[in-house]
């Protein structure tokens, strides 16, 4: 399949959270009501001003992420969605997702989401043990999550993703198994299971940065789970979810038949996307740009009626090929060799023949039925595999 410019995705960023989680380095922060109002006004202007980028294209998906979009009043989301419906070609079957945080949604909000065309919810649970949730700095308990999940279901949402996190300090293999068991009882059609990453600049980095370095040096960490325990958690996740009928379609993502995320699949398959909001990235016509990350730099130009200054950068063919490979290999299906040729007019063997042969010898990649994909061993060291696809020249 050739990734064409005839389809496009829309991402809308809401950079507000009630409180910052201890591990989070996303562009989000607490804010006052009037700060959120000013931001939403600017955001709506940007959504209108960028509609030309989508002209003549089919909208594959809309994703309202954050931050915590459900922190906003339902009217703020409805007004934004009304505008999206008016300015972009949203079809009835277009996937429209909103991220919801447990404890930040009520019945009225959930019903409003359904009313304004949102048809998928992504909920950040992370863990089901309250002591771990508290340590992560999450604002909710497991009980609160269950309440929020139930009311979203009652509002008519059957397409719900739940985010889970393993590799948390203090989390044993038994606790992770219990979390998976509890969540599987809900029969939700999509689960994202990520490993905790210790990001610089976060409270967790202060607490665990040195421990992370120990682990990277191959030493036994003092607080973080060992690499061996992390691998066991990953293996347990795959086994339990597959047995429960989920299809493992991306390194960290599992879905019941027909419930793969259209939006995230689009990123991994390099569909063009428009990002609206603070710090949001866009990729259109192989040009990439990022919105300003400072609130004032974002809001001021939009309040004057024009888009903020951004530096648009054309991706070289080399960069496009690298992205094609390491994003595509995130998917368990891998990349089709014929797609590479179709997209770049070059044979992948000519560009990556040596790398692919070596990685296959190392047991990290497999080639079958016209596609290459990560093996189980390759998934464990996926960052190493991806880095091998960086090329100096083509």
Which one of residues 9, 68, 128, 148 is an interface residue with ligand SF4 (CB under 6 A)? 68
Distance CA 107, CA 86 (A): 26
Whole-angstrom distance, CA of residue 17 vs CA of residue 66: 8
Stretch of 50-58, 64-72, 196-204, 286-294 lying at the interface with ligand SF4 (CB under 6 A): 64-72
Is residue 275 a contact residue for ligand SF4 (CB under 6 A)? no
Phi then psi for residue 254, to 5 deg, are -135, 140
CB of 310 to ligand SF4, least distance (A): 23
Q: Give the H or E element holding residue 335.
A: strand 335-336
Instruction: Report the alpha-carbon distance of residue 358 to residue 372 in Å, rounded.
Output: 13
Span of 13-21, 177-185, 309-317, 332-340 interacting with ligand SF4 by CB under 6 A: 13-21
Q: State the helix-helix crossing angle for 107-115 and 74-87, rounded to 10 degrees.
A: 10
28 binds ligand SF4 (CB under 6 A): yes
* Cβ contact 329:386 at 8 Å: yes
- Verify binding: residue 15, ligand SF4, rule CB under 6 A: no
**Is the Cα dihedral 40, 45, 49, 54 positive or negative?**
positive
Q: Which residues ranging from 85 to 124 are in contact with ligand SF4 (CB under 6 A)?
A: 101, 124
**CB of residue 84 to ligand SF4, shortest distance in Å:** 21
What CA–CA distances, in Å, run from 276 to 27, 47, 50, 51, 61? 13, 6, 8, 10, 14
Does the protein bind ligand SF4 through residue 360 (CB under 6 A)?
Answer: no
- Contact status: 61 vs ligand SF4 (CB under 6 A): no
20 counts as binding ligand SF4 under rule CB under 6 A: yes
- Residue 65 lies near ligand SF4 (rule: CB under 6 A): no
Site for ligand SF4 contains 24 (CB under 6 A): yes
- Least separation in angstroms between residue 176's CB and ligand SF4 is 19
- Residue 76: name the closest of 119, 104, 132, 38 by CA: 38
> Binding of ligand SF4 at residue 133 (CB under 6 A)?
no
Per CB under 6 A, residues contacting ligand SF4 are 17, 20-21, 24, 26, 28, 66-68, 101, 124
């Amino acid at each position: 399949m050739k990734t064409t410019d005839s389809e496009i995705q829309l991402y809308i960023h809401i950079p507000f959270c009630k409180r910052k989680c201890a591990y989070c380095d996303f562009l989000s922060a607490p804010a006052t009501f009037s700060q959120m109002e000013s931001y939403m006004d600017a955001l709506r202007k940007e959504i209108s001003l960028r509609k030309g980028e989508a002209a003549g294209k089919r909208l594959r998906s809309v994703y309202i992420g954050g931050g915590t979009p459900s922190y906003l009043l339902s009217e703020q989301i409805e007004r934004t969605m009304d505008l999206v419906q008016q300015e972009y070609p949203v079809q009835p079957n277009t996937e429209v997702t909103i991220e919801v945080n447990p404890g930040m949604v009520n019945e009225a909000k959930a019903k409003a989401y359904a009313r304004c065309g949102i048809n998928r919810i992504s909920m950040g649970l992370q863990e089901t043990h309250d002591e771990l949730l508290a340590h992560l700095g999450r604002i909710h308990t497991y009980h609160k999550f269950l309440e929020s999940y139930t009311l979203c279901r009652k509002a008519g949402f059957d397409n719900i993703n739940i985010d889970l996190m393993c590799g948390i300090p203090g989390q044993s293999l038994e606790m992770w198994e219990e979390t998976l068991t509890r969540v599987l009882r809900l029969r939700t059609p999509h689960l994202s299971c990520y490993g905790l990453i210790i990001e610089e600049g976060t409270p967790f980095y202060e607490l665990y940065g040195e421990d992370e370095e120990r682990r990277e040096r191959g030493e036994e960490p003092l607080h973080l789970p060992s690499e061996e325990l992390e691998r066991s958690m990953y293996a347990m996740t795959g086994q339990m979810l597959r047995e429960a009928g989920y299809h493992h379609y991306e390194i960290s993502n599992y879905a019941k038949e027909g419930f793969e995320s259209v939006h995230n699949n689009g990123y991994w398959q390099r569909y063009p996307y428009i990002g609206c909001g603070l710090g949001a990235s866009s990729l259109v016509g192989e040009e990439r740009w990022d919105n300003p990350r400072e609130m004032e730099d974002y809001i001021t130009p939009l309040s004057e009626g024009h888009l903020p200054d951004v530096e648009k950068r054309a991706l070289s063919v080399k960069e496009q090929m690298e992205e094609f490979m390491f994003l595509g290999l995130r998917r368990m299906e891998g990349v089709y060799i014929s797609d590479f040729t179709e997209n770049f007019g070059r044979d992948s063997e000519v560009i990556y023949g040596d790398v692919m042969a070596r990685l296959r010898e190392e047991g990290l990649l497999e080639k079958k039925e016209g596609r290459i994909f990560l093996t189980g061993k390759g998934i464990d060291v996926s960052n190493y595999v991806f880095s091998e696809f960086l090329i100096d020249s083509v």
